[in-house]
Amino acid sequence: MAANLKWPPVLALLLVAGMAGIASAGNIAVYWGQNGGEGSLADACNSGNYAYVIIAFLSTFGNGQTPVLNLAGHCDPSSPGSCTFLSSEIQTCKSQGIKVLLSLGGGGGNYGLSSTDDANSVANYLWDYYLGGSGSPRPLGDAALDGIDFDIENGNSAHYDDLANALKAKGSVMLTAAPQCPYPDASLGPALQTGQFDNVWIQFYNNPGCSYANGDDTNLVNAWRTWTSSVTAGSFYLGLPASNDAAGSGYIAPGDLTGKVIPDIQSIGSYGGIMLWSRFYDVQKNYSGQVKGSV
């Protein structure tokens, strides 16, 4: 009975927020792992600013290659046990309800899938060594990650649809993807058509044709509308550089983001929040701290 008493005040608060035009708070996702100067994974989670932390990158996989993790200066994955200290940090994140994902691909690296069988064997590897399976030795220790992020950028889209289907078939694996904003994405187009992705964080940077520029969000809003009406996914995130230095183009000042761009897109499609590249730049500029609560 007592619980019911909570509802009228909550409803009143929501009504007031709605009337005042206050943005409903979305989530913030951040990439961590590509700069040794960005602080620890646990510090990122303890900041309280993120709902998703994406460990980047598994930069070599597929074509029968032994998968290779690259975590810049954080640890040396080629040295056995070097990165297993991250297991307790992953648990720290998960105990706060933060989802921790492993990102496949990235701007460099050597990856690609040669067949459906190859995709299935990569899915088995990811399950055994990073997710709920029990391969040994596990590069990040015993902690099970929540899911897998596809940051495929090399233009070869073959068999990522197979990989997405195989991972989802394992059960309870969150799938996310980071396509570039021109639609359709050259690397992730067929994978996204499976409809298997929970969150899609679209990279609205280094892509002048669909990014924010000079106070103008027309191209961004048009691309957002195309993406959210063409792809079936749980929710869509606006992927942004966390500082001017984080990308060649597409930076949006915090005030422009919360005052203009978010209000322009949040009612279009299934808006989930923003994704930031990367934790390193976010530490420098506190971008997430400034926009949290208004995205």
Cite the active site residues: 153
Q: Tally helices (H) and strands (E) across the chain.
A: 11, 10
Is 290 an interacting residue with respect to ligand NAG (CB under 6 A)?
yes
| Dist. CA 172–CA 170, nearest whole Å | 7
What is the DSSP code (8-state) at residue 213? B
- Tell the smallest beta-carbon distance from residue 15 to ligand NAG (Å): 27
Looking at beta carbons only, is 219 or 286 nearer to ligand NAG? Answer: 286
Q: Which contiguous run of DSSP H or E holds residue 22?
A: none
- Tell the smallest beta-carbon distance from residue 121 to ligand NAG (Å): 43
> Which one of the spans 1-9, 121-129, 150-158, 284-292 is the region binding ligand NAG (CB under 6 A)?
284-292
Residue 57 contacts residue 109 (beta carbons within 8 Å): yes
- Tell the smallest beta-carbon distance from residue 253 to ligand NAG (Å): 14
Is 289 an interacting residue with respect to ligand NAG (CB under 6 A)?
yes
* Residue 159 CA: distances (Å) to CA of 61, 68, 110, 121, 274: 13, 19, 15, 12, 28
Is 141 an interacting residue with respect to ligand NAG (CB under 6 A)?
no
> Which one of the spans 28-36, 151-159, 232-240, 286-294 is the region binding ligand NAG (CB under 6 A)?
286-294
Query: Checking DSSP bridges between strand 147-152 and strand 110-111, what pairing results, if any?
Result: unpaired
Q: DSSP letter string over 42-66?
A: HHHHHTS--SEEEEEEEEEE-TTPP
> Which one of the spans 141-149, 223-231, 256-264, 285-293 is the region binding ligand NAG (CB under 6 A)?
285-293
- Tell the smallest beta-carbon distance from residue 283 to ligand NAG (Å): 8
| Dist. CA 204–CA 150, nearest whole Å | 16
| Dist. CA 278–CA 149, nearest whole Å | 15
For the chain, the maximum distance between any two Cα atoms, rounded to a whole number of angstroms, is 59
Is 124 an interacting residue with respect to ligand NAG (CB under 6 A)?
no
> Which one of the spans 114-122, 128-136, 199-207, 282-290 is the region binding ligand NAG (CB under 6 A)?
282-290
Looking at beta carbons only, is 189 or 289 nearer to ligand NAG? Answer: 289
Looking at beta carbons only, is 46 or 121 nearer to ligand NAG? Answer: 46
Binding map of ligand NAG across residues 229-268, x = CB under 6 A, - = no contact: ----------------------------------------
Sign of the C-alpha dihedral, residues 243, 37, 277, 290? Answer: negative
Backbone angles phi, psi at 277, to 5 degrees: -105, 115
Is 286 an interacting residue with respect to ligand NAG (CB under 6 A)?
yes
- Tell the smallest beta-carbon distance from residue 286 to ligand NAG (Å): 4
| Dist. CA 193–CA 187, nearest whole Å | 12
Looking at beta carbons only, is 234 or 289 nearer to ligand NAG? Answer: 289
- Tell the smallest beta-carbon distance from residue 186 to ligand NAG (Å): 36
Give residues in contact with ligand NAG (CB under 6 A): 286, 289-290
